[in-house]
Amino acid sequence: MPRVVLIDDEALARRGMRSLLARHPTVEVVGEADTLAAAVAVIEREAPDVVFLDIELPDARGFELLARLPAPPKVVIVTAHAEHALQAFDVAAVDYLLKPVSAARLAETIARLERTGAPIRSEAAGDGEPVLRLRTSSRVVVTPARQVIAASAEGDFSRLTIERLASLLVLQPLKQIERSLPSPPFLRLSRSLIVNSRRVSEIRYESRDRSVIALAGIAQPLLLGRTATARLRTWATGTA
């Protein structure tokens, strides 16, 4: 189910797009924005899979938004102006919709989004256990959440260590991975590291600001800095 943010300075246009998207049960609208500043804030907060982006915003042009994001989501351009198509190609937009958008034309866009690759989403197996669909550069890996041992930031992407699998580079930022992992047992220790607390086998405090954590399924213990050590200590002592 792609998570979508609508960015348009016209409330009527956003309302119309919401109405059209409501006909597609595989799509979830998680936010809206009418300015560049508001768009940056809602994207950082919601980490959507797709942005429906108007070109003309009151405080900037829509294309400027993409330049401000370290890992922009997929983009669908929605505009009343046909002359921006070349720029849309430059930013690898999934589609280019001219206002007013028809239901039939939007259905084509949704189908195209589905063909571009599944986003990371937490689903439930028949027994209610969370299941992740993880998109790499060449495949989609489906795994129960409990088999994830640790996840770390690697540039704009994430590196996951999963039971019985090699280390996996996933084409999504760690913030989005975090949304897909149940807490507990998953513990965000720092901006760049999430661990499965059920895999913790040993903790060694080297100082107030440094510690080493061993996880079942990872050969080398992880060295943690001040923030991660403090959060680990809080979890270990049950004082959270």
pTM of the model: 0.52
CA distance 198 to 215: 9
- In the chain, the domains with their CATH numbers are 3-115 (3.40.50.2300), 122-237 (2.40.50.40)
Single out the residue of 68, 52, 62, 47 nearest to residue 20, CA to CA: 52
| Per-residue pLDDT band at 137 (split at 50, 70, 90) | confident
Q: pLDDT digits over 29-56, tens only?
A: 999 999 989 998 998 888 888 999 998 8
- Extract the tokens encoding 17: 């797009």
- For the CA atoms of the chain, what is the radius of gyration? 20
Percent of the chain, pLDDT > 70?
Answer: 88
Long-range contacts of 87-92 (CB under 8 A, 24+ apart): 87/63, 91/63, 91/66
Please tell me the distance from the alpha carbon of residue 188 to that of residue 139, in angstroms, as a whole number.
26
